Amino acid sequence: MKKFIDSPFVKAMSEVTANMYRQGWDERNGGNISYLIDDKYIKQYFPKEKVIRDIPMTFAADPIVRNKCFLVTGTGKYFKNVMKDPETNLGLVRIAKNGKVAHLLWGYKGGGKFTSEFPAHIMCHTERLKVNPNNRIIMHTHPTYTMCMGASTPVSEKEFTKRLWTSNTEAIVVFPEGIGVLPCMVCGTNLIGEETAKKMRKFRIVSWTNHGIYGCGNDMDEAFGLIETVEKTAMVYMISLGHVVNVIPPKVLVGLCKLWHLHPMHGVFKELDVIK
Ligand code: 2HA
Ligand code: ZN
């Protein structure tokens, strides 16, 4: 039988967490990731599914995610340690059919459990699946320059988006829908999960002011690439802050939208609002 620890899912989690740690985004136990895995793959590793233990949840999962399996980083665990010990730092859970507990199928060795941001992850998966059935990844991290931008930009989706779009021509191409923004809130709660998930109906990225960012995607590269583009752009913005002579003019943004057939967020530039 194939061992789950050798699966491409554990490999992808190990690689991306190591990479994110190296970016300096995931200090200590910062950051968490969840990966929705289809049952056709789960069956290959667990033909007779045995539940190691049940882990209580603080919210009722939506029917769309019930009975689905997620590979999730553990609470209090460090991204830098996932590669050397995936079985302690990750866990594979199946959300119970009643949506109230998570059945542990693999991992969290030594009695661990899923990230404190599990509500936000599962609620975000729920909303993303409704708009994109292929969404598999929810990724949360603390990228330095994105946090600096959050601290120095009004809590406004349009303003944050405008500053990003006008700093890097890749920005509007990678996230034409803009960036969702939440004010500073208590993390690890159902409330921040609900608010983030609401934003995820419209945006694939959501900034948590004074905390970090949430991103999503069909695969690890997509979710990581999205956050990486926001962070790179925020870095350009913050480093050049106060010295900028050239910002990207609306006509170049219009040109990019036409070239890539994009439908950009409304209300940022009037020149963009008329694009069909
Ligand atoms: O897992 O990043 O948001 C630690 C965090 C909480
Ligand atoms: Zn965090």
pLDDT for residue 254: 97
**Strand ranges inside 114-220, DSSP E:** 137-141, 180-182, 205-208, 212-217
In this structure, which ligand is nearest to the CA of 207?
Answer: 2
Q: Is 185 in the pocket of ligand 1 (CB under 6 A)?
A: no
Provide the 10 A C-beta neighbour count for residue 137: 26
pTM to 2 decimals?
0.96
In this structure, which ligand is nearest to the CA of 28?
Answer: 1
Structure confidence by residue, pLDDT tens digits, 90-142: 999 999 999 999 999 999 999 999 999 999 999 999 999 999 999 999 999 99
Gap from CA of 30 to ligand 1 centroid (Å): 5
Q: Is 153 in the pocket of ligand 1 (CB under 6 A)?
A: no
Cβ pair 65, 88 in contact under 8 A = no
Which residue is closest in CA terms to ligand 1's atom 4? Answer: 30
Mean pLDDT of the chain: 97
Question: Does 43 score more than 90 pLDDT?
Answer: yes
Gap from CA of 117 to ligand 1 centroid (Å): 6
pLDDT for residue 207: 98
Structure confidence by residue, pLDDT tens digits, 156-169: 999 999 999 999 99
With cut-offs at 50, 70 and 90, classify the pLDDT of residue 1. confident
With cut-offs at 50, 70 and 90, classify the pLDDT of residue 47. very high
The CA distance from 213 to 205, in Å, is: 7
Percent of the chain with pLDDT over 90: 97
Question: Does 73 score more than 90 pLDDT?
Answer: yes
Q: Is the dihedral of CA 202, 31, 111, 82 positive or negative?
A: positive
- Angstrom distances, CA of residue 37 to CA of 113, 121, 133, 266: 18, 14, 12, 35
Torsions phi, psi for 235 (to 5 deg): -65, -45
pLDDT for residue 169: 98
pLDDT for residue 242: 81
For range 40-56, the mean pLDDT: 97
pLDDT for residue 68: 98
For range 70-77, the mean pLDDT: 98
Question: Does 276 score more than 90 pLDDT?
Answer: no
Q: Is 115 in the pocket of ligand 1 (CB under 6 A)?
A: yes
The one catalytic residue in 27, 49, 117, 177 is 117
For range 46-74, the mean pLDDT: 98
With cut-offs at 50, 70 and 90, classify the pLDDT of residue 250. very high
With cut-offs at 50, 70 and 90, classify the pLDDT of residue 205. very high
Q: Is residue 181 left, alpha or beta, with left meaning phi > 0 and alpha meaning psi from -120 to 50? A: beta
Give, rounded to a whole angstrom, the gap between the first and last alpha carbons of the chain: 53
Of 114, 140, 184, the one to substitute when testing ligand 1's pocket (max ligand atoms within 8 A of C-beta) is: 140
Whether 117 is catalytic is yes
